């Protein structure tokens, strides 16, 4: 009886350690994918603003952002996207898990954590499938205010409204959480 108990305890702790190691590895791979996406989006946006100006760059975000997300997802073998409580593109609307993580990030920010360090990962289940999920907060910077700020200028508003009929992604201030990168990976 003692032996069985010991075995159960040892086996259980071995499994949970394996899970912890897997989670760490999956988290690191997710961080790498998210960093790749973040830096490619930033470089593309900056190059476009320099070459074509801000207004023309709206279409970069509109057309290129989903393409770049797809490319990075393929390259890294996981689904990587962007989500926000106040989203512009309805495709970036968070699901229940993502919404609760975004709310958790707002709470942690209110408790004094730096937005640039907010991240969360979890092994979870969706429709009976085991998933690894990861999110990392995206801070609002000065350049973002051109298209997501309080006083987005008139030509922007009409261009943005012509592309997105129910835009919620305005009224942000520097330092706010603009949204978060979100990674989903099926696991065995």
Strand duo 129-139 + 79-83: pairing: unpaired
Residue 146 near ligand HEC by CB under 6 A: yes
Nearer Cβ to ligand HEC (62/104): 62
The single residue among 30, 37, 76, 84 that binds ligand HEC, judged by CB under 6 A, is 84
Binding mask 94-123 for ligand HEC (x = CB under 6 A): ------------------------------
Inter-residue contact 135 to 183 (CB < 8 Å): yes
The least distance separating ligand HEC from the CB of residue 21, rounded to whole angstroms, comes to 31
Binding flag, residue 89, ligand HEC (CB under 6 A)? yes
Q: Is 183 in the site for ligand HEC (CB under 6 A)?
A: no
The interface region with ligand HEC, picked from 25-33, 82-90, 105-113, 118-126 by CB under 6 A, is 82-90
Q: Is-contact 56 139, C-beta < 8 A? A: no
Question: Least distance to ligand HEC from the beta carbon of 105, Å?
Answer: 12
Q: Which stretch binds ligand HEC (CB under 6 A): 17-25, 71-79, 103-111, 134-142?
A: 134-142
Instruction: List the beta strands (DSSP E) in the chain.
Output: 79-83, 119-126, 129-139, 177-186
Min. distance of Cβ 33 from ligand HEC in angstroms? 15
DSSP 90: G
Token couple for 159: 């261009």
Alpha-carbon gap, residue 187 to 21, rounded angstroms: 14
Q: How far apart are CA 159 and CA 165, in angstroms?
A: 10
Tell me the sheet residues that pair with 136.
119, 181
């Amino acid at each position: 009886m003692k032996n069985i108990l010991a075995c159960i305890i040892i086996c259980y702790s071995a499994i949970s350690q394996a899970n912890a190691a897997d989670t760490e590895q999956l988290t690191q791979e997710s961080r790498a994918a998210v960093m790749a996406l973040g830096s490619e989006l930033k470089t593309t946006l900056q190059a476009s603003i320099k070459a074509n100006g801000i207004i023309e760059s709206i279409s970069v975000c509109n057309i290129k952002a989903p393409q770049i997300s797809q490319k990075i997802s393929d390259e890294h073998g996981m689904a990587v996207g962007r989500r926000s409580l106040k989203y512009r593109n309805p495709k970036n609307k968070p699901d229940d898990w993502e919404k609760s993580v975004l709310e958790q990030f707002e709470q942690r920010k209110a408790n004094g954590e730096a937005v640039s360090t907010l991240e969360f990962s979890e092994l979870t289940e969706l429709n009976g499938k085991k998933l690894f999920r990861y999110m990392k907060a995206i801070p609002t910077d000065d350049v973002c205010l051109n298209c997501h700020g309080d006083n987005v200028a008139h030509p922007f508003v009409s261009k943005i409204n012509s592309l997105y009929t129910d835009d919620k992604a305005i009224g942000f201030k520097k330092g706010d959480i603009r949204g978060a990168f979100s990674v989903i990976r099926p696991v065995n």
